[in-house]
């Protein structure tokens, strides 16, 4: 069986390593993949947003199954076009991917179906938005409607920051057309939890919960990044919270999408905040999270490809999705200066043992050498029977990997350890 995976980051590497465990898989193509993924799949220089190129490649190489992992191709309708050519896919169609592609859509969906989320207003007019933020409660959260490479959310701590956020998104078009409309919403507080769910539109099977670490520096300081590390499970996500989320958030969301004739099939990511008033949705993603996937999939006991095919065939209810009773920690190694200015092209050296536990996000192969090619370079995941053990093993492995100017946060999982101790 030939499997195609669209994307080329740490998340895709984690998906590929897991899919490879299925004995029916004979070849995996990664479009475009990266220099690290090349050890586990055939990488082909076709970009993740080159939808026509992806479809042509899938057809001419007689691909049997396609997994579309990143948000852009999903929102652009990659799954619809592959399906038209008779290629079964994992991932939502365009009309369902809008749940991530438009924050205005997702907020209105939650309001219409009573799904708990922050109070909000939508603006398409700059002056109306400026008038609103000149009088609203502060802090306030300002979000560009469309995709913005994960940078479209601004938490304004002062009125001046709110005004400048509105201007930079709506007037200066910092995120292009993604800022034609904005959502201005209430600032919520509480621990954050990521829950990735498999759904075939009929049933929902949540994966093990996880915790991201978005800020660049220790102690949650510094700028927001694509994620500096993760742990799973998330200690704040107790059985009681999980049950409440299923009843108040997960099932109502899947049902709401069905009611809107936008059945969601694939991985639906719930970014949740456990507020004093109960769990609320901070964001939906129409895909696996990065770097959540790098701790969630290593703990999956069931065969990933089998589960994905059950989603495609709408037989998820009959397909077990089981996780190990263990903990995982992923530590991201980045290039110093990330997420703003950093250099590329440093040679990466790692032992075979480290490589087995590594998901490469930004590296290129040049003359047999693996060179850094991005800000976030790789993630190292370790599994342990306790959280402490997983964290310690992940750092021990990370410290054996070398490239010039490498840095990582030294406190991945520390907040989770504290939460465990408070239980
Ligand atoms: P996103 O870019 O959508 O992942 O959002 C980035 C981060 O902004 C989230 O992980 C939250 O920490 C924070 N955030 C988003 N919306 C809110 C909100 N309404 N209240 C407080 N924090 C928020
Ligand atoms: N880790 C957050 C995301 O994948 O969007």
> What is the Cα–Cα distance from 111 to 105, expressed in whole angstroms?
10
Q: Is residue 40 in contact with ligand 2, taking CB distance under 6 Å?
A: no
Compute mean pLDDT per 10 residues along the chain, 423 residues long, and list them: 98 98 98 98 98 98 98 98 98 98 97 98 95 95 90 92 94 92 96 98 98 96 93 98 98 98 98 98 97 98 98 98 98 96 96 96 96 97 98 98 97 97 84
Q: What share of the chain is helix, strand, coil (3-state, %, to 5)?
A: 35, 30, 35
Strands 229-232, 327-335: parallel, antiparallel or unpaired by DSSP?
A: antiparallel
Calculate how far, in angstroms, residue 316's C-alpha sits from the geometric centre of ligand 1: 31
> In the prediction, which pLDDT does 150 show?
76
Calculate how far, in angstroms, residue 214's C-alpha sits from the geometric centre of ligand 2: 9
Query: Per the structure block, which two tokens stand in for 369?
Result: 């050498």
Long-range contacts (CB closer than 8 Å, 24 or more residues apart) made by 60-63? 61/2, 61/4, 61/29, 62/2, 63/2, 63/3, 63/4, 63/29, 63/87
User: CA end-to-end span of the chain, whole Å?
Assistant: 46
Tell me which ligand sits closest to the C-alpha of residue 275: 1
> In the prediction, which pLDDT does 423 show?
75
In angstroms, how far apart are the furthest CA atoms of the chain?
61
pTM: 0.97
| Sequential DSSP letters for 238-255 | -HHHHHHHIIIIIHHHHH
Calculate how far, in angstroms, residue 89's C-alpha sits from the geometric centre of ligand 2: 21
> In the prediction, which pLDDT does 422 show?
87
Residue nearest to atom 9 of ligand 1 (CA): 282
Q: What does residue 162 show for φ and ψ, rounded to 5 degrees?
A: -65, -45
> What is the Cα–Cα distance from 369 to 387, expressed in whole angstroms?
34
Strands 221-224, 215-217: parallel, antiparallel or unpaired by DSSP?
A: antiparallel
> What is the Cα–Cα distance from 237 to 272, expressed in whole angstroms?
10
Choice from 149, 178, 234, 273 to test ligand 1 binding pocket (greatest atom count within 8 A of CB): 273
Choice from 110, 143, 155, 222 to test ligand 1 binding pocket (greatest atom count within 8 A of CB): 155
Calculate how far, in angstroms, residue 76's C-alpha sits from the geometric centre of ligand 2: 18
172 class by beta-carbon count within 10 Å (0-12 exposed, 13-18 middle, 19+ buried): exposed
> In the prediction, which pLDDT does 361 show?
97
Q: Is residue 289 in contact with ligand 2, taking CB distance under 6 Å?
A: yes
Q: Comparing C-alpha atoms, which of 284, 274, 288 is closest to residue 198?
A: 288
Tell me which ligand sits closest to the C-alpha of residue 230: 2
Place of tokens 């499970």: 233
Q: Is residue 305 in contact with ligand 1, taking CB distance under 6 Å?
A: no
Choice from 75, 197, 292, 339 to test ligand 2 binding pocket (greatest atom count within 8 A of CB): 292
CB 151 within 8 A of CB 160: no
Q: Angle between the 304-313 and 10-19 helix axes, to the nearest 10 degrees?
A: 90
Residue nearest to atom 8 of ligand 1 (CA): 153
Strands 89-90, 182-186: parallel, antiparallel or unpaired by DSSP?
A: unpaired
Calculate how far, in angstroms, residue 263's C-alpha sits from the geometric centre of ligand 1: 26
Residue 181: which residues within 8 A CB-CB, separation 6 or more?
104, 122, 123, 124, 145
> In the prediction, which pLDDT does 243 show?
98
> What is the Cα–Cα distance from 284 to 286, expressed in whole angstroms?
7
> In the prediction, which pLDDT does 215 show?
94
Q: Which atom of ligand 2 is the closest one to the Cα of 230? A: 1
> What are 349's strand-pairing partners?
402
Q: Comparing C-alpha atoms, which of 379, 372, 360 is closest to residue 39?
A: 360
> In the prediction, which pLDDT does 229 show?
98
> In the prediction, which pLDDT does 164 show?
95
Choice from 101, 267, 269, 288 to test ligand 2 binding pocket (greatest atom count within 8 A of CB): 269
Tell me which ligand sits closest to the C-alpha of residue 186: 1
Q: Is residue 283 in contact with ligand 1, taking CB distance under 6 Å?
A: yes
> What is the Cα–Cα distance from 266 to 362, expressed in whole angstroms?
25
| Sequential DSSP letters for 163-205 | HHHHIIIIIS-TTGGGGSSEEEEE---S-EEEEEEEE-SS-EE
Q: Is residue 100 in contact with ligand 2, taking CB distance under 6 Å?
A: no
The secondary structure element, H or E, covering residue 388 is helix 387-398
């Amino acid at each position: 069986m030939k499997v195609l995976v669209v994307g080329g980051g740490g998340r895709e590497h984690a998906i590929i390593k897991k899919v490879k465990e299925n004995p029916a898989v004979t070849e995996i193509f990664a479009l475009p993949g990266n220099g690290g993924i090349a050890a586990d799949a055939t990488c082909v220089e076709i970009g993740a947003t080159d939808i026509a190129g992806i479809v042509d490649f899938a057809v001419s190489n007689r691909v049997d199954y396609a997994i579309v992992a990143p948000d852009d191709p999903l929102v652009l309708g990659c799954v619809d076009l592959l399906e038209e050519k008779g290629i079964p896919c994992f991932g939502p169609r365009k009309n369902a991917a809008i749940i991530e592609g438009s924050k205005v859509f997702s907020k209105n969906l939650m309001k219409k179906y009573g799904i708990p989320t922050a109070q909000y207003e939508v603006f398409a007019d700059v002056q109306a938005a400026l008038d609103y933020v000149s009088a609203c409660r502060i802090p306030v959260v300002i979000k560009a409607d469309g995709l913005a490479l994960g940078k479209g959310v601004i938490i304004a701590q002062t009125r001046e920051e709110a005004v400048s956020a509105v201007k930079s998104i709506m007037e200066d078009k910092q995120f292009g057309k993604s800022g034609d409309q904005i959502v201005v919403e209430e600032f919520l507080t509480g621990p954050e939890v990521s829950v990735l769910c498999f759904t075939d539109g009929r049933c929902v099977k949540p994966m093990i919960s996880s915790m991201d670490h978005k800020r660049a520096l220790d102690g949650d300081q510094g700028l927001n990044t694509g994620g500096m590390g993760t742990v799973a499970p998330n200690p704040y996500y107790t059985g009681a919270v999980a049950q409440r989320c299923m009843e108040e958030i997960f099932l109502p969301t899947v049902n709401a999408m069905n009611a809107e004739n936008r059945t969601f099939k694939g991985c639906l990511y719930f970014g949740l905040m456990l507020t004093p008033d109960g769990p609320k949705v901070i964001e939906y993603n129409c895909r696996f999270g990065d770097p959540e996937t790098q701790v969630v999939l290593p703990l999956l006991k069931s065969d990933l490809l089998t589960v994905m095919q059950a989603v495609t065939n709408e037989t998820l209810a009959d397909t077990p999705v089981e996780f190990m009773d263990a903990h995982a920690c992923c530590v991201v190694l980045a290039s110093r200066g990330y997420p703003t200015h950093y250099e590329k092209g440093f040679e990466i050296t790692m032992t075979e043992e480290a490589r087995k536990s590594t998901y490469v996000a930004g590296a290129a192969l040049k003359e047999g050498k693996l060179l850094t090619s991005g800000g976030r370079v790789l993630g190292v995941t370790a599994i342990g029977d306790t959280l402490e053990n997983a964290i310690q093993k992940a750092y021990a492995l990370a410290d054996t990997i070398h490239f010039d100017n490498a840095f990582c946060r030294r406190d991945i999982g520390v907040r989770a350890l504290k939460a465990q101790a408070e239980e």
